[in-house]
Amino acid sequence: MKLFLSTYNYKIDKKGRISLPASFRSCISEKKSTEIILFKSFKYKVIEGCSYSRIENISKRIEQLDIFSDEQDDFLTSIFSELQYVKLDSEGRFTIPDDLKEYANINNEVTFIGLGHSFQLSEPKFAIQRQNESRSRNLEQKRTLKTNLSKNKNEYSD
Amino acid sequence: MKLFLSTYNYKIDKKGRISLPASFRSCISEKKSTEIILFKSFKYKVIEGCSYSRIENISKRIEQLDIFSDEQDDFLTSIFSELQYVKLDSEGRFTIPDDLKEYANINNEVTFIGLGHSFQLSEPKFAIQRQNESRSRNLEQKRTLKTNLSKNKNEYSD
DNA sequence: TGGGAATTTATGGGCGTCAATGGGAAATTT
DNA sequence: AAATTTCCCATTGACGCCCATAAATTCCCA
């Protein structure tokens, strides 16, 4: 599976439809999938999205690995119950469910943010704010970043 | 994987296209890849580039961080959302996204600088300036060159 | 080893396709 | 029937694909 990358700004049309960025479509189209999964981010007032296969993987990890405390498990369970299937039309567009739209303060415009195996949908101004925040937090903690990135260097050929 | 080496000066044509140096193409063509990844350098007003497989490796490292930790979250947001897929045409050319062009003050001409596992795209005059600076810094620190090489390796690995 | 042939590279331009967006008509629902 | 959803078609600008060419590079063979 290709990774969800980059940032896109799209408009919601009068009928409430919005295009999933073409590069995102190719991230979920292994079996010409016409569905995505959307849910409320538990951290921020944004919508989280991913492919169905991602949900399957997370589910397996929770079952097999015992690394989650009861508390976290409950947390995850509550997230799963909020997952929604969302269909894409023949042009690759979809409609954001009302409750999610409200949760993320989304009106006419949406910013898609790629996060590797998932993506976020958010109100454009809030998206910029979040990107700035995480960038500056990363810069402040530069040393942690370097250590982590170079630690496993030898495992990879490039 | 072959390393990105050397320096090249290429022109942007009327349609906004520019050739990826042939030697760079052979660095990403493991599976006849026709995509590169571009993003704003964290350090300078230049564009950074690499192969997709390099991003996959970084992704794997980030995945090893705790799920839902602020650390992982900030990495995902600040790194992946800033990366852009850029396709090469059948002649090995690509178009530099407008926001990156603006960030690096690029107009008609571009200097490619090989950096081993990645490369940089910059405004030609700025490229010369940067090369002079780093050359003189290296001369000043001649005695500690060996030590610095291993240290710098990590700095440039992202 | 030299020098011409074949290939590759950097660059140019035409044109068809696709992406993002808009809107109407048919199908479904209440 | 009114409202919502699904399917189909339209538009515009950007981009991919194709073909072309001149310069540079590599290859080959005498």
Domain boundaries, chain B: 7-155
Q: Pick B143 or A54 by higher pLDDT.
A: A54
Q: What is the residue type of A79? A: I
Report the mean per-residue pLDDT for chain A.
81
Question: Does residue A74 have a pLDDT over 60?
Answer: yes
A134 compared with B30, residue with greater pLDDT: A134
pLDDT digits (tens, 9 = 90+) for B55-78: 998 998 888 887 778 888 888 998
Residue B22 is predicted with a pLDDT of 92
Q: Which CATH class is domain B7-155?
A: alpha beta
How confident is residue B120, by pLDDT bands cut at 50, 70 and 90? very high
Q: How many contacts, defined by CB atoms under 8 Å, are there between A and B?
A: 86
Statement: residue B40 has pLDDT above 80 = yes
How far is it between the farthest Cα atoms of chain A?
52
Question: Cβ separation of B81 and A137 shorter than 8 Å?
Answer: no
- Residue appearing with tokens 């050397």: B6
**Of all residues in chain B, what percent are helix, strand and coil, respectively (each to 5)?**
40, 25, 35
Structure tokens at B60: 């794997």
**Protein-to-nucleotide distance from the CA of A113 to the C1' of D1, whole angstroms:** 43
Average pLDDT over every residue of B31-45: 86
Separation CA A147–CA B77 (nearest Å): 19
Please report, rounded to whole angstroms, the spatial distance between the CA atom of protein residue B89 and the C1' atom of nucleotide D15.
9
Contact criterion met (CB below 8 Å) for B43 and B105: no
Each residue of A6-18: pLDDT tens digit?
999 999 998 999 9
Answer whether A140's CB lies under 8 Å from A157's CB.
Answer: no
- C-alpha closest to that of A148 among B26, B149, B157: B157
What is the CATH T-level fold of the domain A7-124, as seen in this structure? Answer: Chemotaxis protein chec (3.40.1550)
- Per DSSP bridges, beta strands B93-95 and B17-19 are antiparallel
pLDDT for residue B151 is more than 50: no
- The proportion of chain A whose per-residue pLDDT surpasses 70, expressed as a percent, equals 75
